[in-house]
Amino acid sequence: MFPFRALVLEDHAFQRAVAVDMLRQLGCGEVLEAADGAEALLLLQSSGPVDVALCDLQMSGMDGLEFMRKADLLIGSVILCSDLSPDLRHTVMQIIAMLGIKPLGDAGKPLQLRRLQDLLENCQPLSKAIVPTPFVPELPSEQELCDGLKRHEFVPFLQPKLDLVTGQVKGVEVLARWLRPDRGLLTPSAFLPAIERCGLLDVLLFELLASGLVLQRKLLRLGYSLEFSYNLHASQLENGSLVSRVQALLEGHGIPAGKIVFELTESAQFEESVTHLENLVRLQMMGCGLSIDDFGTGFSSLRRLCRLPFTEIKLDGEFVRGLTQQPRSRAVIENTLALAKSLGMTVVMEGVETREQHQELLALGCPLGQGYFYARPMSVWAFTDWFSQSVRSATLHLGYPRPNYGESCLIY
């Protein structure tokens, strides 16, 4: 079934024999075994690499962690077989990935045949498991960026935020995409560092804001009052004209400030100055919402909540990924929800990807969610179709023709 070359690293003779037998039952043609890391390393150096290794962590001599660090080029994938605490095993899985080895999962102890079979489903032969370093294209020049902005090639993509209880769309996050005639649709990683380097963040923000307000106004006329969120880099708070420009745009499109949220990335460098604080206070005085994005991934989350006038917490998706298996991730979510309630703030859970995660968040009382389980970021025309279906009404006639993103381009 699984014609892999495998290694079992286990210091307990009986458990090692059980693991070897299970791998052979599952079709592994050659199964090596070792009682400690040093023995396993010598074995691989003399006989060649393996597609998958079942590794214990605690053993006399060279432990499993040291072995994996020294044998990273000789192992395609790893399955942990350890009785350490779930928190420690979760951390070890992150270390394995950082070493460039594919972590297949945690089998725990005692080893179960069905669990092992499920984990091996994601294993690949070593020759296929090693992925070459992807080509990183050269960042665009300032002139290319300016030309693209002048030609309105930077377009908004929308990712919905949903009420977890009712399933209603409460708002969208407006994200930037670059529709280049010569390269198709580009995601922010291909241009945002250059935008920041060239001092064009404000130009991009107001380009997206203007486009978003047009759509928001059309939705309002049809009776749909959605909240639109925009990413705001901390450095943009140094702009003394930021608030007045935002206010002028909102008034020009007839959009209430209460339907606009600015998401400030929590991990971004942020030096509190008079101008920064004044802009945040004026935005909230105007009625705009302020969201602390990627909450929990930096070192100043609680300090910022105390000092800055945020109205919303966006909890980083890392915590929802560990929700069903990591007690600490669940504790972080539960306590963030309690903290937000005591501060009169709302919480949006990012990165929801499965029904199981959705159900768990619902049980914990999380009010809002965002992620691929609900919808990926999509173009305006795609959002129009998607939203029409979500409200079970006729197609919304907002006057947006379907653009040509190229045959090979995805819409997200």
CA atoms within 13 A on the CB side of 241: 6
Q: Which of the following is catalytic: 33, 227, 263, 350?
A: 350
**Is 39 labeled as catalytic in the residue annotation?**
no
The DSSP call for residue 29 is: S
Q: Is the Cβ–Cβ distance between 25 and 49 less than 8 Å?
A: no
Other C-beta atoms closer than 10 Å to the C-beta of 199 total 10
Tell how strand 346-349 and strand 368-369 pair up: parallel
Structure tokens at 360: 């768990």
Q: Is the Cβ–Cβ distance between 349 and 333 less than 8 Å?
A: yes
The DSSP call for residue 188 is: G
**CA–CA distance, 268 with 234 (Å, rounded to integer):** 6
Looking at 78-200, list the stretches that DSSP marks H as alpha helix, in order from N- to C-terminal side: 86-98, 113-120, 126-129, 142-150, 192-197
Task: Go through 206-216 and write b for each residue having 16 or more CB atoms within 10 A of its CB, e for each that does not.
Answer: bbbbebbbbbb
What residues are labeled active site? 350
